[in-house]
Amino acid sequence: MRHRDVLNHHHTMLHAIVALSTVMCLVTAGPPIAVHSMAYTTVNEKTLYIQGGNPEQAGDRFANQFYALDLTRSNWDTTNPPWTTLSAGVSYSGAPSSAYHFMTVVDYGQSLMIWSSLERTSLSLNSSRAVEFNISNLTWSGVQYSNTTIGNFVTFPGFAKSGATDPGTNLVYIPALFQKDTGMTVYNITQAAVSNKFESCATTAPMPQPLGEGRVLSGHSTVWSEYSGSLLVYGGRYEVPPTDPLASPLTPAVLSDRLVEYQPSQKDWTIVTTKGESPGKLASHCMVPAEGGRKMIVFGGSKETGSTIVPEGGIYILDVPSWTWSQGTSVNSSDFRAAMACSVAADNFIAWGGTNGDNILGSMIIYNLRSQQWTTRFSPGGQRCCCSSCRSNCRIRGLQTSQMAFSPRSSLSTEL
C-alpha cells in the first residue's frame, strides 16, 4: 500500500515510581506497534519519547501509544531496544490518538508538550489540542485555549507541522503553524494567564514563501541550535490543502531544499547559504541536533515525482559553525524510510519506525557517528558539547568541530 499522507532523573526516577506505586503507569515492554508520522523528541540525550502515529490499519489511521527508549542503557542492539511503555492518560487531558503531530520539551526538560492537529476519537474527528506530560510524576494535563488563539492548526493528514524549544528561555517556536500562515507562533509556558501563553509574533517578518499565498508548508524539520541560538528549518513541501480533511492535496507537492534560520533576537528569517553536498529537496525527513547544536543530522525522508513516493536513506551532517554539509554512508535500501522518529545520543544516531511508501516499518536502525557506519549495536558513553562550552573547539568521539565564524547568509529570495 502506498502512503500518500506521509510526505510530513529519567531511568532511575521511572523505576523508582514503579516500585513505590500500586498503579502501574509504566511497564517495560516490547516495541511499539509500527507507525509513521509519530510525535517524538529526546531529552538530554538520555530518553527518546514517541507518541501516536499512523499504523495504516483498516479503519484506523491514529494510534495512541506512548513509549520511552532509555538511551543510557548499555548492551543492547536493534533486536532488543529498551523500550518502556508509558500511560497515555485519560480522556481529553491525556495523550491524543493522533498522527502528523509533534512533541517539544518544555519546563527546562521537566515536561513534554504534544501538539495535535488532527485526532480521532470514538465520536468524531477533532482538531487542535495540546497536552502536557510531566516526566517526573508521569501525569498529564490539558492545555485549554480558545479557538481565536490556537484553534486553526492545519488539520489535514500529511500536513505535518513541527516546532522546537529554546532551552535558555523555555519558549517554544512553531513556524507556519496555522493554515496559510507564514509567521511564527510562540508558546510561553510560564505565562500565568492561559490566554497569554500563545502569541503570534505580529512583528515577525514572514517566513519566506517561494510559491506565493495559498500553500501550506509541511513535512519540514524544525530544530533549535544551542550553538547559534536560533531556530533552523530544513526542507518540507508546499501544497494546496483540500477542503476535506481526509482527502488528498489538490495539487502536486513542491519540495524544498532550503535551510532557513530564524533569529528570535531579530524576529527575522534568513535563508542560509551552505557549502558541500546538501540532502537536496526532501520532505518527511528528520533533522536532529548533536554536539549541543554544533551539528545537525539529516536522515531519510522522501522525494516525489507527481504522486510517486521515493523514500530516501541518505544521512548528512551539517557543521553549523561553517554551514558545511558532509555526507555519511547511506543505509541499505531495505531500510530507506520517511516519517520516522530520530534521536542522537553520544556516538549514536537512531531512527525508528516510518514508511518506505509501501510498508510501515517497525524496525530500528543505528548509525555510528564516529565510525560513520551503520550498525546493530548501541554504544553509550561519550560527552556531548553542552551549551556552556559549545562555542569552543571540541572533539566528541571522533567528530571534529571548528571555531570558524558563521559564513554569510543570503538575502531572502523567492527561489526554492
Rounded to 5 degrees, what angle do the CA atoms 234, 135, 79 make? 70
- Residues of the chain with pLDDT > 70, as a percent, come to 63
For residue 391, the model assigns a pLDDT of 42
User: What digits encode the pLDDT tens for the residues 315-332?
Assistant: 999 999 999 999 999 999
Mean pLDDT comparison of 13-27, 103-117, 203-217, highest-scoring range: 103-117
User: What digits encode the pLDDT tens for the residues 238-285?
Assistant: 776 655 555 555 566 788 899 999 998 888 889 999 999 999 999 999
For residue 99, the model assigns a pLDDT of 87
For residue 286, the model assigns a pLDDT of 98
Segment 323-327 long-range contacts (CB within 8 Å, at least 24 positions apart): 323/259, 323/272, 323/273, 323/274, 323/275, 323/406, 323/407, 324/274, 324/275, 324/276, 325/274, 325/275, 325/276, 325/277, 325/278, 325/279, 326/276, 326/277, 327/276, 327/277
Q: What is the mean pLDDT of the chain?
A: 76
- The dihedral over CA atoms of 339, 343, 349, 355, expressed in degrees to the nearest 10, equals -20
Q: What is the sign, positive or negative, of the torsion defined by CA atoms of 272, 275, 281, 286?
A: negative
Q: What is the pTM of this model?
A: 0.81
For residue 218, the model assigns a pLDDT of 82
Nearest to 257 by CA among 288, 206, 221: 221
Mean pLDDT computed over 148-174: 69
User: What digits encode the pLDDT tens for the residues 369-413?
Assistant: 999 999 999 988 754 544 444 444 433 333 333 322 233 333 333
For residue 306, the model assigns a pLDDT of 57
pLDDT at 200 over 90: no
Of 187 and 314, the one with more pLDDT: 314
For residue 20, the model assigns a pLDDT of 31
Return the H-helix or E-strand segment holding 18. Answer: helix 10-20
Among 102-111, 148-157, 176-185, whose mean pLDDT is lowest?
148-157
For residue 122, the model assigns a pLDDT of 41
Residue ranges with strand state E in 272-404: 286-290, 295-299, 302-305, 308-311, 315-319, 324-327, 341-345, 348-352, 364-368, 373-375, 395-396, 399-400
3-state DSSP helix/strand/coil % of the chain, to nearest 5: 5, 40, 55
Q: Which homologous superfamily does the CATH classification assign to the domain defined by 39-378? A: Kelch-type beta propeller (2.120.10.80)
pLDDT at 116 over 70: yes
Is residue 236 within 8 A of residue 160, CB to CB? The reply is: no
Of 167 and 199, the one with more pLDDT: 167
